[in-house]
Structure 1
């Protein structure tokens, strides 16, 4: 069931979204060669704690996961693109790092993700990140009252195909509100004019993730969480939580 939010509830979600944006900004500022992933998780924990927020990621255990998630951010490096666990791995020059973060504040949740290169990135990696972010904004632009979920999905898929990247409809966007994952599911590819009609008051996370090798196949590590490209190519992930309003899409996970 899709819950429509009031303007006041959307403002409350934006407050949670600002915490997420600050956490992502802090993690990006600290991500440097030699820094361990678990140290970046500690940075995000401090931001949430100082804001009086909690993490919807910590101890989350969906059906596919064998164990609860142990961190407050997902940290995925290079060929890992989603759900990477904060470990003792030390970042290296040229690593492509994807960071996914959520926060719950006063009963409302925000969810967002960024990708960037550590140290000196290659042109190929920078293009992958730029195209993933472009797809995010293309999807957001379609998230208007009266549009269909397929319009959002098709906008994302078109960017991936034009760039020659692999994409998959698993683990796409989703509703956000009182919890991190609500209805509806928003695939990263689809047909315009199809699917649920968007309405004012809907709050959704739009999150493209692309694989540079052009294939859509992926594998999951033995930890049951970390999702990697099957061909070893690099991946990038971008996400914002947005609200459908009378004035158009409103990004909630921003400063």
Structure 2
């Protein structure tokens, strides 16, 4: 069942979303060559403690999965999603997605950003930048009366027109007093299809875009890490979005959030 949030719920979601984004702000200056993803995870845990938030991922265990062992996900280079922090130092040229979900007063805020570690290749920079734009092409479609298929179609059309592919196995999701609620928000699809958007709905838009083919596979046996099958680079950005009476509001914005692409305000 898809939930809609009342004024109090929207306020709770705004607070949780901002705090999740502020964890990423806090981590930003630390993400440079030599730091390990485990150290990033520890910094995030300390930041959440100071905020009075808790990590939604630590100990998270959907059916068929082992409990997730960290306070956030760190997906490096060809890791598509759910990368578990470890002791391998990041090196110059790496790209890493850091995905944070916090819980504040029972409400969940979920967001992720790409980080460039030192100087990265033009191809890696282009992938990260166009994935960010793809997410915003999806966000820009949000308004009452639009359909979830409109969001997926906008993302897919933009990504594929730039020579990239869209991962099919993972999608955005409703969010509120639960980490994952209905609806599923696909990042591909047909316009005019799937559920109609209504004011008060909150969900994530979080496209995973591959430089190569769209196919993915599980990596190793940790039960979580997903990589591109062809070992090509993958990028992801994520915002939590509210359907307003007239359009959309991004709930996971903070002082350090990158600005929307120019076409959003045009």
TM-score range, shorter chain: over 0.9
Q: Following TM superposition, by how much is the alpha carbon of 1:7 offset from its aligned partner in structure 2, in angstroms?
A: 2.0
In the alignment, which residue of structure 2 is the partner of 1:220?
218
Q: Following TM superposition, by how much is the alpha carbon of 1:168 offset from its aligned partner in structure 2, in angstroms?
A: 2.1
Q: Distance in 2 between matches of 1:5 and 1:106?
A: 15
Q: Following TM superposition, by how much is the alpha carbon of 1:216 offset from its aligned partner in structure 2, in angstroms?
A: 1.1
Q: Distance in 2 between matches of 1:50 and 1:247?
A: 36
Q: Distance in 2 between matches of 1:235 and 1:50?
A: 32
Q: Distance in 2 between matches of 1:43 and 1:209?
A: 25
- Equivalent residues in 2 for 1:203-218, closer than 5 Å: 203-213=202-212, 215-218=213-216
Q: Distance in 2 between matches of 1:30 and 1:62?
A: 31
Uncovered stretches (5+) of structure 2, i.e. residues with no partner? 255-266
In the alignment, which residue of structure 2 is the partner of 1:71?
70
Uncovered stretches (5+) of structure 1, i.e. residues with no partner? none
Answer whether contact 2:76 2:95 (CA < 8 A) is retained. Answer: yes
Flag the 1:35–1:135 CA change in 2: closer, same or farther, 3 A. Answer: same
Q: Distance in 2 between matches of 1:133 and 1:13?
A: 22
Which is worse superposed, 162-171 or 182-191?
162-171
Q: Following TM superposition, by how much is the alpha carbon of 1:137 offset from its aligned partner in structure 2, in angstroms?
A: 0.6
Q: Distance in 1 between matches of 2:2 and 2:159?
A: 28
Q: Following TM superposition, by how much is the alpha carbon of 1:64 offset from its aligned partner in structure 2, in angstroms?
A: 4.4
- Is 1:28 matched with 2:57? no
Answer whether contact 1:56 1:179 (CA < 8 A) is retained. Answer: no
Instruction: Give the count of matched residue pairs.
Output: 253
CA RMSD of the aligned region, Å?
A: 0.9
Q: Distance in 1 between matches of 2:165 and 2:245?
A: 34
In the alignment, which residue of structure 2 is the partner of 1:40?
40
Which is worse superposed, 183-192 or 45-54?
45-54
1:196-237, Cα deviation, whole Å (9 max, x unpaired): 000000000001011111x11111112111111011111101
TM-score (norm: length of structure 1): 0.97
- Equivalent residues in 2 for 1:1-255, closer than 5 Å: 1-65=1-65, 67-213=66-212, 215-221=213-219, 222-255=221-254
1:53-80, Cα deviation, whole Å (9 max, x unpaired): 1111111112342x11111110011111
